Structure 1
Amino acid sequence: MRTCSFCGEQIQEGTGTMYVKKDGTIYLFCSSKCEKNRIKLGRVSRKVKWVKK
């Protein structure tokens, strides 16, 4: 089990999305909603109300 980099939920093996930046930083996302909020919109998870983290 892995943890989503944005919302902190558990991700089952074989599901989710991995995003690797040019500097080698790896982000794991459980859904496209989390991915868009972090990468495209640049939001911080502690300031988003629906995140349970």
Structure 2
Amino acid sequence: MIRAAKCSFCGGDVEPGTGIMFVKRDGTVLHFCSSKCRRSMLELKRKPVKVKWARKTREQAEAKVRRR
């Protein structure tokens, strides 16, 4: 059974049959919803927390505000 995955960079949904699955040399599997996310993480070495358009960043910021 095919299941949806979460993007390793932005946290968005990756529907079955779409996106990019990248397997690192150590066997770790990374799923990306777009080439923008793949490039940002692998080639440009960006952190999702420092990128405003990443969904993970928004959710973490909202959770931090709720805790206060």
% identical equivalent positions: 51
Query: How many equivalent residue pairs?
Result: 53
1:21-40, aligned counterparts within 5 Å? 21-40=24-43
Uncovered stretches (5+) of structure 1, i.e. residues with no partner: none
TM-score, structure 2 length as denominator?
0.74
Superposed displacement of residue 52, structure 1: 1.6
Q: Which has the higher contact order (CA 8 A, sep 6+)?
A: 1
TM-score (norm 1): 0.94
- Structure with bigger strand share is 1
If each structure's helix is expressed as a fraction of its own residues, which one has the higher value? 2
Structure 2, unaligned stretches of length 5 or more?
57-68
Query: What is the RMSD of the two structures over their aligned residues, measured on CA atoms?
Result: 0.6
